[in-house]
Chain A
C-alpha cells in the first residue's frame, strides 16, 4: 500500500467519522464544528486528486465563510434540543422509508456498471508546474461561459431576494446619514457673535 493510499484511507476515515458525528452529536455547536472537520477532510481528498484550486476554494468558501455564519446563527439561537426530539417515534417510519430509498439509489448508482472504474481513464499525474487554476479558468470562460454567467445571474437574483426579504425600515430609529454629515458647513451651524465689552459706568 503506497503512502498516497494510506493518506486517502486516513482522511476518508476521518471524513466519515466527522460526518457521522454531525448527525449524532447532541450539541448543535459541536455538530457545526464536526461539519467543518468534514469539509476539511474532503478538501484534503481533493488535494490528493490534484484539484488544488477546488480544494482551497472549498476551505475558503465553506469553512471560511459559510460555516462561520452557520456557527454564528447556531450560537445565537440557543437551540433547545428536547422539544425537537419529541416526535421521534412518530416520524420514524417515514424516516426509515426515505433512508432505505436513498440507500437503494446509492447502491444502484455505485454498484452499476456505468460508474465502473474501467469506464474512466485513470487520473493522469501532472508535472509540478501544471496550474489547474489556469486550466479551470480557461474552461470556465470559454467552453462553459454561458452556464457560468447563468449561475452568476441566479446568484444575483438570490442576493437581491434575500436583501429585499430582510430589509425593513423601522420608524423611530436614529439613523445617521453620512452623506448629509459630510455636507455640513460650519456657516450653517455656528453663528459667531461679536459682543462688544461694555465700559464700566
Chain B
C-alpha cells in the first residue's frame, strides 16, 4: 500500500510531493487525535460513573459506544448565539485560537523512533511557546462575550495559566539538563536502558510538579476555577453555544491528551518499551510497536486526570496561587540544583 502511494505520488512535481506527504502526515495525526478526544469524553463519563457506582451513558449504540457521535451531531446542529454587545470577530475567533495551539503542538511529538512530523532542534521550546498561547483563546473569549461571568473566568484563568507556566517551564529545564537536548526524540533516546532509566525516578519532584501544573494549565479539576460552575456559572465559555462551544470543549480535551503525551514522553520514556533490559520479557514483547507503549503511557495520565476530577473538590483561588508560587516553584528550583550536582557528579545510571 505504501509503495502504491509512492508510485501515485510520482505523478506530481517534486515540490508538490513534499507538500502532499506532509499534508498526509498531518491528517494521520489529527484524525486519530480528534477521535481520541471524542472517546475521551465518553471515557470520562464512564470512568467517573464507575467511580461513583453508576453505569454512565449506555443508551446510544451498544454500551453507549456511539454517545460521542450523538453529542457531536447535536452540537453541530445547535444554534450559535451571538450575545448583544459582543465583539463579533473576536467572539468567533477565540475558539480557533484555543484549539490551534493544542493541535499544532503535536507536530514535534515523537510517536516512535523518528516517527515525528517535524524533527525540530528546539522542540521542547516550541512546545512551551505553543502551550503558552492557549490562554489567548480563553481571555479573548471572556472579553469578547461582554458578560461579567465570562470576564471573571477569563481573568482567573489568565492569572492561573501564567503562574503555572513558570513551574512547568522549570520542570522542563530539569529534563533538558538531563537529556542535554531540546529535541524530544533525543530526550526519549536519553532515557533508554530500562524503566529505571526513565526520568521519573531521578526527577520525581519535577515529574509531580509537571503533571500538577499540567492539570492547572488545562483548567481541569481540581484547578477548574476558570469554569467554577458554582461561582461564575461556566466561566469564559458561558455565552458560547453549539459548535463554538464544541470547539472550546475539543480544545480542552486535546490539551489534556497533549499534556499526558508530553508527561509520558519526558518522564516515562515515550515510545520505549517498559520491558527494555528485562531478560525474558524484552524478547517476548519485542513485537509491540513503540506507538502502542506511547499510547498506553499517555492513557495512564489521562486516567489520572479523570480520577483527580472524580476525587478532589475545587481549590479556592488564593490556594491555587499559593500552591503554584510558594510550593511548586521552590520545589522545582531546589531540584534543579540537586540535578545539577547529580549531572556534574555523573550519578549513575542516568547521567553517567
B322 contacts the other chain (CB 8 A): yes
B151 contacts the other chain (CB 8 A): yes
With A60-B129, A72-B155, A75-B151 in contact, do A52 and B139 touch (Cβ < 8 Å)?
A: no
B71 contacts the other chain (CB 8 A): no
Contact residues in A for B120 (Cβ distance below 8 Å)? 52
Interface contact A65-B162, CB-CB below 8 Å? yes
Q: Determine the residue in chain A with the shortest Cβ distance to B182.
A: A133
Interface contact A56-B121, CB-CB below 8 Å? no
A59 and B151 alpha carbons, distance in the complex (Å):
25
Candidate in A59, A60, A130 with the most chain B CB atoms within 10 angstroms? A60
B33 contacts the other chain (CB 8 A): no
Distance between B258 CB and nearest chain A CB, rounded to angstroms: 16
A77 contacts the other chain (CB 8 A): no
A45 contacts the other chain (CB 8 A): no
A75 and B136 alpha carbons, distance in the complex (Å):
13
A19 contacts the other chain (CB 8 A): no
Contact of B125 among A60, A69, A176 (CB under 8 A): A60
Contact residues in A for B133 (Cβ distance below 8 Å)? 59, 63-64
Total CB contacts across the A-B interface at under 8 A: 64
A68 and B133 alpha carbons, distance in the complex (Å):
9
Contact of B122 among A36, A52, A178 (CB under 8 A): A52
Distance between B232 CB and nearest chain A CB, rounded to angstroms: 16
With A52-B120, A60-B125, A178-B322 in contact, do A72 and B158 touch (Cβ < 8 Å)?
A: yes
A96 contacts the other chain (CB 8 A): no
Contact of B139 among A60, A64, A72 (CB under 8 A): A72
Interface contact A133-B132, CB-CB below 8 Å? no
Distance between A114 CB and nearest chain B CB, rounded to angstroms: 33
A136 and B140 alpha carbons, distance in the complex (Å):
35
Q: Determine the residue in chain A with the shortest Cβ distance to B159.
A: A72
Interface contact A56-B122, CB-CB below 8 Å? yes
Interface contact A133-B159, CB-CB below 8 Å? no
Find residues 283-315 in chain B having any chain A CB closer than 8 Å to their own CB.
none
B188 contacts the other chain (CB 8 A): no
Distance between A176 CB and nearest chain B CB, rounded to angstroms: 8
A36 and B132 alpha carbons, distance in the complex (Å):
13
With A52-B121, A53-B122, A56-B129 in contact, do A65 and B165 touch (Cβ < 8 Å)?
A: yes
Find residues 177-209 in chain B having any chain A CB closer than 8 Å to their own CB.
182
Find residues 159-186 in chain A having any chain B CB closer than 8 Å to their own CB.
176, 178
Contact residues in B for A63 (Cβ distance below 8 Å)? 129, 132-133
A89 contacts the other chain (CB 8 A): no
Q: Determine the residue in chain A with the shortest Cβ distance to B135.
A: A68
Contact residues in B for A29 (Cβ distance below 8 Å)? 143
A178 and B327 alpha carbons, distance in the complex (Å):
11
Contact residues in B for A59 (Cβ distance below 8 Å)? 129, 133
Interface contact B122-A75, CB-CB below 8 Å? no
A176 and B154 alpha carbons, distance in the complex (Å):
25
A60 and B154 alpha carbons, distance in the complex (Å):
20
B249 contacts the other chain (CB 8 A): no
Distance between B112 CB and nearest chain A CB, rounded to angstroms: 20
Find residues 92-132 in chain A having any chain B CB closer than 8 Å to their own CB.
129-132
Contact residues in B for A132 (Cβ distance below 8 Å)? 121
A63 and B120 alpha carbons, distance in the complex (Å):
21
A1 contacts the other chain (CB 8 A): no
Distance between A44 CB and nearest chain B CB, rounded to angstroms: 13
A75 and B156 alpha carbons, distance in the complex (Å):
13
Candidate in A33, A56, A71, A131 with the most chain B CB atoms within 10 angstroms? A56
Distance between A13 CB and nearest chain B CB, rounded to angstroms: 21
Q: Determine the residue in chain B with the shortest Cβ distance to A74.
A: B143
A129 and B162 alpha carbons, distance in the complex (Å):
33
B128 contacts the other chain (CB 8 A): yes
A76 and B155 alpha carbons, distance in the complex (Å):
9
The 7 A-B residue pairs with the shortest CB-CB distance in the complex, in nearest-first order: A64-B132, A60-B129, A59-B129, A56-B125, A56-B129, A131-B121, A75-B143
13 A-B pairs besides A56-B129, A60-B128, A133-B125 with CB distance below 8 A are A29-B143, A52-B120, A56-B122, A57-B125, A57-B129, A60-B125, A68-B135, A68-B136, A68-B139, A69-B162, A75-B139, A75-B154, A76-B155
Measuring CB to CB, which residues of chain A are less than 8 angstroms from any residue of chain B? 29, 33, 36, 52-53, 56-57, 59-60, 63-65, 68-69, 71-72, 75-76, 129-133, 176, 178
5 contacts between A and B (CB under 8 A): A52-B120, A56-B125, A60-B132, A64-B133, A131-B121
Measuring CB to CB, which residues of chain B are less than 8 angstroms from any residue of chain A? 90, 120-122, 125-126, 128-129, 132-133, 135-136, 139-140, 143, 151, 154-155, 158-159, 161-162, 165, 182, 318, 322
